[in-house]
Chain A
Amino acid sequence: MITLTVNGQSHTVDVDPDTPLLWVLRDTLGLTGTKYGCGISECGICSVHMNGELINSCQKSIGKCSGADVVTIEGLGANGLHPIQQAFIDENVSQCGICIPGQLMAAAHMLNSNPEPTDHEIDVAMKNNYCRCGAYTRIRAAIHAAASSA
């Protein structure tokens, strides 16, 4: 039994300790906004925040999450939309949308510590997030827009 906090709620889960956090979120807790893409930390679509850090949830065993404080896309805009979510809407960033939760978690994490990133800083912070549809120009524009609206 492992107890952790997800989006402000405490959950106790009875799963094999080697289960990646990703699959606990999706299959056990029903939080399907966090996506599976590669399982090897290359695509970033499983990105969540854990204890304030940006992590790939496919790489974090639930056995190492005891007491952890996790925020997923479902909890990012707990009090209405986060500015980065609004910016993604305003810039019509989404295409297929499957990478968007991961993009938002990465962008929000960067904005927490760097409210006015340069293009280069965006490139570095978002380097682990693939968008196969190819919305990179708009992702960058939306991050700048969110930065200036904050």
Chain B
Amino acid sequence: MTEITKITRRTFMATSAAAGGGIVFGLPFPKMGPKFAQAAFKDLTGGAEINAYVHVASDNTITFGCPATEMGQGSGTSLWMMFAEEFECKWDAVLDFPTGRPEYVQPLIGLQLTGGSTATPGFWGVLRKAGAQARHMMIQAAATRWGVDASQCSASDSMVTSGDKKATYGELAAAAAGQTPPEEPTLKTPAEWKIIGKPGFDRLDSLLKVTGECQYSSDISVPGMVHAAIRMVPFGGKILSYDTAAAKRVKGVRDVIVVGAEAPAIFLDNNVPAVIVTADSYWQAEKGAKAANVQFGQPKEFAELDSDKISSALHAGLAAEGSQARADGDYPAAIGSASDTLSATYEVPYMSHSPLETMNALADFRGDSLECWISTQDPGAGYIVAEMITGLPQDQIYIHQTYTGGGFGRRVEVEYLEYAIEASMAVKAPVKLTYSREEDMANHFHRPTYAAKMTAGIDSSGEVTAWQHHISGPGIWLSPMRSSRLKNLFAGSDFINGQIESGVDFHSAQGAKDIGYNFANIDVRYTQVDFPVPIVFLRGVGNTQNAFFIESFMDELADHIGQDPFELRQKLLADEPRMLATLELAAEKANWGGSLPKGHAHGIAFHNSFDSPWCDVVELSVRGGKRVNIHKITRAVDCGLVVNPDQFDAQVQAGVVWGLAHTFLTGHTVKAGELAQKNFDTYKLPRISQMAEYEVHTVPTKNDPTGIGEPVFHTMAPAITNAIFAATGKRIRSLPLNRHGMSLA
């Protein structure tokens, strides 16, 4: 047996408390950019890199170095639209996802990380400017070659012309690379745009994806590589025993090693202990892992954890005072003097992102260097953990970011990379680690479970004068148990310190504090209740629970005081023009209040997140009190300028499916210290037959782009449950609906 690796993990220390960063998740983070500049376009020969984002080959082939991950959301194409608009090039480009240079650091985050709906807003100015600079460099190269002034040259369609002189970008690339670009080139006005905001620009990666040529990290092989399967301990547990001899009796099995933290690891950045079996093929590695018969132990309180205990603890949290997240007016006085009050309690479960490509990584540690391939949203954190584990300087490390088979927030974490690196160091060979679906799901970092108690006070004239939203649940940023590594990367920042001081976890309260509804007295509070189930950001993050809590209660409130649910919201958003316009647009397009076929009912939900107000109106009917038939979803959003109309619609479409999943299907339960659902036989996703018809409308705007990937689905659940109430009189206060015996028709 290979010697067990003994890698003592160090807690990340903040490298800088200086606020740089920007506004991801709403608040500034310190800059965590790379300490060196990697060579971009490593695999390309010939031609020249014009700047960090673009390489032009002598045959005129353009490669776009996309600074954002392509995990399906279309950033590869949408970000190219911004660059290409200014570069004046041919549309076709090869997509590449280079890593490790300051230019790829997301300005709104401070790491090379794709999340928080930052790709388009964060690179909006950056890539247009870089495209204009690259164009200027081409023009200067041509002007120098021809001995004319740059003002006598123009560029279009990857060609510079001056009078009867012509040169392609490919011919000019080498000379252009040596030019100094203008610091602040003048950018086109919106009236001059030919690409941005225009339809008809197809995805750049479609051909790769329909032929099977698209390579995810799970598809990469390198010479000498071994395959690896893994068995990770359940929550807070440790490895009790495993049978190396039995594993090695499986043909093809090479090594059985232990990776991860040595101690039971529920704290901070420690990866949980795991047994890895390497073999000549993945199937042999999995068979070996089965044969190893790994036995785990958990502390008693974790081994006995189940969903009932979790739910009880959440509700106990609601009975506590909690920490104040927002206080407007005088809520205690207002609720005390209210002539009528209404209160309701809601709950959402753990939910896994379950991208269809399971977590995996290929690491090749060569003693003095490390090369990795990962499907990830977070190469920035990848470099940091790779340096931490190997002790190599970052300039001896390269991370290839491949196409990513779904992210949705799960791949902000990079623990799979850490395991692969440790394994490669231990077995002294390149290791491709692939999680089985069962391991992926059982050890998933989840959207946390939450409960909320909503309370409103109504005065004698029927006005809602008091609003309280009390959230209880785990803190992604504040939990001492296993949760996002980002909390360690950004330790010491104002963002983290502010949460520690206030006791309010940012994402637990996300979307609860900054509601647009104009109540005179508002009290938002949070009680932190942690469990050992790993947690992280999931698309929409805190809004996924809080939109459900708020919008469900708004509907109950409207019913209670005898107002129309749309009109109540309309009145409360009167001072918020963007939000009001979005609400009214959805209602108008759905013909809210108009007549519907017999048995059909409308439900409405509004939420403002990632600076993109969103409203859904759902029309449905319910058969036998159980079978929900969704007839139409009318969606409206103000996400600022839509850079890529086609991918905007693709995200809206995705939001419908995610909304259906969240509402009807995707909730995890905990049983005897483990996730009860470990594969898609028990954790079901929507199928094509369940797809609902939708239409989407955008509020006319000249504002810069805001978020679209994150806010796409969290209004769906309350719109559906509110419509179910309108159709049946049945209130749904917890998700998913399959636990209420309800299903999609």
* Chain A interface residues (CB < 8 Å from chain B): 15-16, 19-20, 23, 26-28, 30-40, 42-43, 45, 72-74, 77, 81, 85, 88-90, 92-101, 104, 122-124, 126-127, 129-140
Contacts and interface: CB of A to CB of B under 8 A. Distances in A.
B283 A23 contact: yes
Interface stretch (B266-274, B486-494, B678-686): B678-686
Contact of B205 (A26, A31, A97, A130): A97
B210 A81 contact: yes
Contact of B212 (A19, A39, A72, A130): A72
A35 B688 contact: no
A138 B202 CA distance: 14
A128 to B, nearest CB: 8
A134 B653 contact: yes
B284 interface: yes
Contacts of A136: 653, 657, 686, 688, 691
B356 A43 contact: yes
A27 B281 contact: yes
Nearest to A37: B356
Contacts of A81: 210-211
A31 B208 CA distance: 14
A55 B437 CA distance: 19
B405 A38 contact: no
Contacts of A95: 72-74, 650, 654
A73 B680 contact: no
B354 interface: yes
Nearest to A77: B211
Majority secondary structure, B binding face: loop
21 contacts: A27-B283, A31-B212, A32-B215, A33-B212, A35-B357, A40-B681, A74-B212, A92-B202, A92-B647, A94-B203, A96-B71, A97-B205, A97-B403, A100-B210, A123-B687, A130-B680, A132-B406, A132-B408, A133-B654, A137-B656, A138-B650
B72 A27 contact: no
Say whether chain A's binding surface is mostly helix, strand, loop, or mixed: loop
B301 interface: no
B282 interface: yes
Most B CB atoms within 10 A — which of A81, A99, A127, A132? A132
A42 B194 CA distance: 44
B164 interface: no
B519 to A, nearest CB: 35
Interface of B: 71-74, 202-203, 205-216, 218-219, 221, 227, 251-252, 281-284, 354-358, 403-408, 434, 436-437, 646-647, 650, 653-658, 679-681, 685-689, 691, 694
B203 to A, nearest CB: 5
Contact of A135 (B212, B284, B650): B650
A27 B282 contact: yes
Tell me which of B215, B403, B680 has the highest count of chain A C-beta atoms within 10 A of its own C-beta.
Answer: B680
Given A23-B282, A96-B355, A122 B688 contact: yes
Given A45-B356, A95-B650, A96-B72, A73 B406 contact: no
A134 B404 contact: no
Return the 9 tightest CB-CB contacts between A and B, nearest first. A33-B212, A134-B657, A96-B72, A98-B405, A95-B72, A97-B209, A123-B689, A73-B212, A32-B219
A133 B656 CA distance: 10
Contact of B282 (A26, A45, A100): A26
A1 B408 CA distance: 42
Nearest to A143: B688
Contacts of B219: 26, 32
Contacts of A38: 437, 679-680
A95 B688 CA distance: 15
A97 B202 contact: no
A129 B356 CA distance: 11
Contact of B206 (A37, A43, A89, A140): A89
B406 A133 contact: yes
Contact of B227 (A27, A98, A104, A133): A27
Contacts of A27: 227, 281-283
B212 A32 contact: yes
B688 to A, nearest CB: 5
B210 A94 contact: yes
Contacts of B356: 35, 37, 43, 45, 96, 98-99, 130, 132
A34 B357 CA distance: 12
A100 B654 CA distance: 15
B214 A97 contact: yes
A7 B202 CA distance: 29
Nearest to A136: B691
Given A33-B212, A101-B212, 11 more contacts: A27-B227, A32-B219, A37-B437, A40-B679, A81-B211, A92-B646, A95-B72, A96-B356, A124-B689, A135-B650, A137-B691
B72 A42 contact: no
Nearest to B434: A36
Nearest to A32: B219
A122 B688 CA distance: 8
B654 A98 contact: no
Nearest to B712: A134
B680 A94 contact: no
A31 B212 CA distance: 9
Contact of A89 (B207, B215, B680): B207
Given A36-B434, A72-B212, A134 B656 contact: yes
A92 B214 CA distance: 15
Contacts of B406: 96, 98, 132-133
A123 B688 contact: yes
Contacts of A40: 437, 679-681
Given A81-B210, A96-B406, A129 B437 contact: no
B277 to A, nearest CB: 15
B212 A34 contact: yes
A108 B213 CA distance: 18
B221 A85 contact: no
A40 to B, nearest CB: 6
B425 to A, nearest CB: 23
Q: Which of B209, B215, B437, B647 neighbours the largest number of chain A CB atoms within 10 Å of its CB?
A: B209
Given A32-B219, A42-B679, A96 B357 contact: yes
Contacts of B689: 123-124, 127
A19 B203 contact: no
Most A CB within 10 A of own CB, among B71, B218, B283: B283
A99 B354 CA distance: 13
Contacts of A15: 281, 283
B437 A137 contact: no
Nearest to A105: B212
Contact of A39 (B218, B437, B685): B437
A104 B650 contact: no
A104 B213 CA distance: 14
A100 B209 contact: yes
A98 B657 contact: no
B2 to A, nearest CB: 22
A90 to B, nearest CB: 8
